[in-house]
Chains A and B, each alone.
Chain A
């Protein structure tokens, strides 16, 4: 056994992946140098593989990431085969994503699907980025890039044959979300007056949708990689779907995803002007930022529902966990965000009336 070999990941998956790659690439052999578990996946498990392929068109050394399901999946997220399909479409649209390479669709050999992609450089850690020492110009440059990536993704319109598993919104995307969140709250079965209050407001104020595009669904600080102060890859595509493109912008800017830096509206990184400029540079038309506050409220609502579902896994006894338990006690923070952000919009509206 190679002294440098690390087996902190899951060696049987690594060995399985090596055999899979040998077959898939027509190689003579595949040697795994290291297999390390990467952090940051409550739902998915990500393993970094450093390997050498001998023979065949892929001969050489490769740094890859293997993504598979972890034991606790959320029912609302995509499976790995579907996520792989989304990643391919996003890659083809020119979005900076880790290049998706091979998909293993399991027929009982391993017990779960996985796919392999190129490992992207940089770090996705949110707090160092938010608290870091980027200058205003550097922040603006990064926000410009984020806007551009979103605009590229939003050029993808339905229908796309390889994405036929993604449901279309029922009604406008906003109405569809309100109905979805009500269903999820009902499934938990505990009354949530504050969430119902906010949902009613979201229903009454739902914008007429102008367009439906491919959306990332979880585009926020912590889910994109930054290398040398620039965007290197957009990660975590399991919530992708057809929706209003403003939903992605609202989620990115929602107060719950600023990691304490509330003064920086876009993900705790900076202001919306640079983001909008970057978006417009690709979209070829200006972003209507007047719709952003509504979609930020929708984003906070989404987080409230996800937090509720995560907490329920502990409360129901399904998955006892300190982290999930504390997520339940975060709900008042999210409720406060909802009330304050809606009140701000209403005050602003009254001022202009």
Chain B
């Protein structure tokens, strides 16, 4: 059983209420906080609705850099390995390849946190 409306729909309508109904009545010094709150709601909404592109980008990163020797402890542990190996110079010969893989992963996160920024950076 699923409760309706969905969380994403609730966030969307809450954000519209905040921007369209509350904001016009707020004194100017509180606009910044209201806009930040609206932004927090928008990020949450996109995160709930996100497809698995971030997961795929992470998996590609894992596979490309560690292959079948990829540690099986999940993404957080992998990030730790990768961070450590980068600092130790183990990827010095392939820094550009790693950069390209990281770009895909960062792009997937940006699609959630700030898609407009991606557009400005010439990515989509």
> Cβ of B22 < 8 Å from any Cβ of A?
no
Within B42-87, the residues touching A (CB, 8 Å) are: 43, 76, 79-80, 82-84, 86-87
**Alpha-carbon gap, A182 to B43, bound state (A):** 29
> Does the CB pair B110–A200 fall under 8 Å?
no
**Alpha-carbon gap, A192 to B114, bound state (A):** 19
- When A191-B80, A200-B89 are in contact, do A329 and B113 touch as well, CB less than 8 Å? yes
> Cβ of B14 < 8 Å from any Cβ of A?
no
- When A191-B79, A335-B106 are in contact, do A197 and B98 touch as well, CB less than 8 Å? yes
Q: How far is the CB of B77 from chain A (nearest CB, A)?
A: 9
- When A191-B83, A339-B106 are in contact, do A329 and B99 touch as well, CB less than 8 Å? no
Chain B window 80-118, contacts with chain A (Cβ cutoff 8 Å), 1 for yes, 0 for no: 101110110101100110110011011101100110011
> Does the CB pair B87–A339 fall under 8 Å?
no
Question: Secondary structure of the A side of the interface?
Answer: helix
> Cβ of B40 < 8 Å from any Cβ of A?
yes
> Does the CB pair A346–B110 fall under 8 Å?
no
> Does the CB pair A199–B40 fall under 8 Å?
no
> Cβ of B121 < 8 Å from any Cβ of A?
yes
**Alpha-carbon gap, A241 to B68, bound state (A):** 47
Residues of B within 8 A of A16 (CB): none
> Does the CB pair A322–B37 fall under 8 Å?
yes
- When A191-B79, A323-B36, A343-B99 are in contact, do A196 and B87 touch as well, CB less than 8 Å? yes
CB-nearest residue of chain B relative to A333?
B117
Residues of B within 8 A of A262 (CB): 120
CB-nearest residue of chain A relative to B37?
A322
> Cβ of B33 < 8 Å from any Cβ of A?
yes
Q: How far is the CB of A265 from chain B (nearest CB, A)?
A: 15
**Alpha-carbon gap, A191 to B75, bound state (A):** 11
Total A residues in contact with B, Cβ cutoff 8 Å = 28
CB-nearest residue of chain B relative to A201?
B95
**Alpha-carbon gap, A48 to B73, bound state (A):** 55
**Alpha-carbon gap, A351 to B6, bound state (A):** 52
**Alpha-carbon gap, A325 to B107, bound state (A):** 20
Residues of A within 8 A of B82 (CB): 191, 193, 196
> Does the CB pair B109–A339 fall under 8 Å?
no
Chain A window 183-201, contacts with chain B (Cβ cutoff 8 Å), 1 for yes, 0 for no: 0000000011110110111
**Alpha-carbon gap, A204 to B37, bound state (A):** 41
> Cβ of B39 < 8 Å from any Cβ of A?
yes
> Does the CB pair A193–B113 fall under 8 Å?
no
> Does the CB pair A333–B114 fall under 8 Å?
yes
> Does the CB pair A336–B106 fall under 8 Å?
yes
Residues of A within 8 A of B118 (CB): 336
**Alpha-carbon gap, A153 to B113, bound state (A):** 39
> Does the CB pair A325–B40 fall under 8 Å?
yes
**Alpha-carbon gap, A317 to B91, bound state (A):** 35
**Alpha-carbon gap, A204 to B89, bound state (A):** 9
Q: How far is the CB of B40 from chain A (nearest CB, A)?
A: 6
> Cβ of A289 < 8 Å from any Cβ of B?
no
**Alpha-carbon gap, A322 to B37, bound state (A):** 7
**Alpha-carbon gap, A191 to B87, bound state (A):** 11
**Alpha-carbon gap, A340 to B102, bound state (A):** 11
Residues of B within 8 A of A339 (CB): 99, 102-103, 106
> Cβ of A330 < 8 Å from any Cβ of B?
yes
Set B33, B43, B102, B120: member contacting A193, Cβ < 8 A: B102
**Alpha-carbon gap, A332 to B33, bound state (A):** 22
**Alpha-carbon gap, A332 to B92, bound state (A):** 23
Set A191, A323, A326, A336: member contacting B117, Cβ < 8 A: A336
**Alpha-carbon gap, A215 to B121, bound state (A):** 30
Q: Can you report 28 residue pairs joining A to B where beta carbons are below 8 Å apart?
A: A191-B80, A191-B83, A192-B83, A193-B79, A193-B86, A193-B102, A194-B106, A196-B82, A197-B95, A197-B98, A197-B102, A199-B86, A201-B95, A204-B92, A260-B120, A322-B40, A323-B36, A325-B40, A326-B39, A326-B40, A332-B109, A333-B113, A336-B107, A336-B110, A339-B103, A339-B106, A340-B103, A342-B99
Using A322-B33, A332-B110 as known contacts, list a sample of 9 further A-B pairs with CB atoms less than 8 Å apart, ordered by residue number in A: A199-B86, A200-B87, A260-B120, A329-B114, A330-B114, A335-B102, A336-B117, A339-B106, A342-B99
